[in-house]
């Protein structure tokens, strides 16, 4: 599974976005160690706005629900924006539990991938109570 395949998974997940309040559709795909296919996730909003779940956490939680604690290899996130948008701090903290600072994150939109950064570029000095598995 290369990044372009995962990008397709993220686009498919984005098509399932439930975002009637913000109209901001997000798709994510998390490639995890030991699995060929990246796991997709979309944002799922709620009339009680605080119950909304972002695409990145949907993908992470779907992966863990299927496979148990996972070792993420890379993450792809797609929105409808012309410029790359960064995963929110809540999603970064959730990911920090499982990934290391070197994990690549690819950001894009429905047309293309726009940017590659490392997890640690977005959340340096993440709070972790234990060493992330290598
Ligand atoms: N959202 C994500 O899915 N990922 C992010 O990293 C930031 C925001 C969603 C949550 C909400 O449904 C919509 O985008 C607007 O905030």
Q: Give the pLDDT mean for 64-91.
A: 98
Q: Does the beta carbon of 88 lie inside 6 Å of ligand 1? A: yes
85/34 Cα distance (integer angstroms): 28
**DSSP string of 37-102, one letter each residue:** SPEEEE-B--SSGGG-B-HHHHHHHHHHHHHSS--EEEEEEEES-SS--PPPHHHHHHHHTT--TT
Confidence of residue 106 (pLDDT cuts 50, 70, 90): very high
**Residue whose CA is closest, atom 9 of ligand 1?**
54
Global pTM reads: 0.96
20/18 Cα distance (integer angstroms): 6
Atom of ligand 1 nearest to the CA of 42: 3
Going from the C-alpha of 105 to that of each of 7, 113, 123, 129, 130, the distances in angstroms are 11, 11, 12, 23, 22
* Structure token digits, residue 10: 């993220």
Q: Does the beta carbon of 52 lie inside 6 Å of ligand 1? A: yes
Q: Give the pLDDT mean for 75-100.
A: 98
**Residue whose CA is closest, atom 13 of ligand 1?**
24
**Residue whose CA is closest, atom 8 of ligand 1?**
54
Residue 35 DSSP SS3: coil
Span 28-70, pLDDT tens digits: 999 999 999 999 999 999 999 999 999 999 999 999 999 999 9
Active site residue 56: yes
């Amino acid at each position: 599974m290369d990044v372009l395949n995962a990008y397709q998974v993220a686009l498919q997940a984005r098509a399932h976005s439930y975002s009637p309040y913000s109209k901001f559709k997000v798709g994510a795909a998390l490639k995890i160690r030991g699995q060929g296919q990246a796991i997709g996730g979309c944002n799922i909003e709620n009339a009680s706005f605080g119950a909304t779940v972002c695409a990145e956490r949907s993908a992470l939680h779907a992966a863990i629900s299927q496979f148990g604690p996972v070792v993420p290899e890379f993450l792809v996130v797609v929105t409808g924006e012309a410029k790359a948008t960064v995963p929110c701090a809540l999603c970064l903290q959730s990911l920090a539990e499982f990934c290391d600072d070197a994990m690549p994150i690819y950001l894009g939109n429905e047309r293309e991938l726009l940017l590659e950064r490392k997890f640690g570029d977005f959340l340096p000095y993440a709070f972790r109570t234990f060493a992330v598995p290598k």
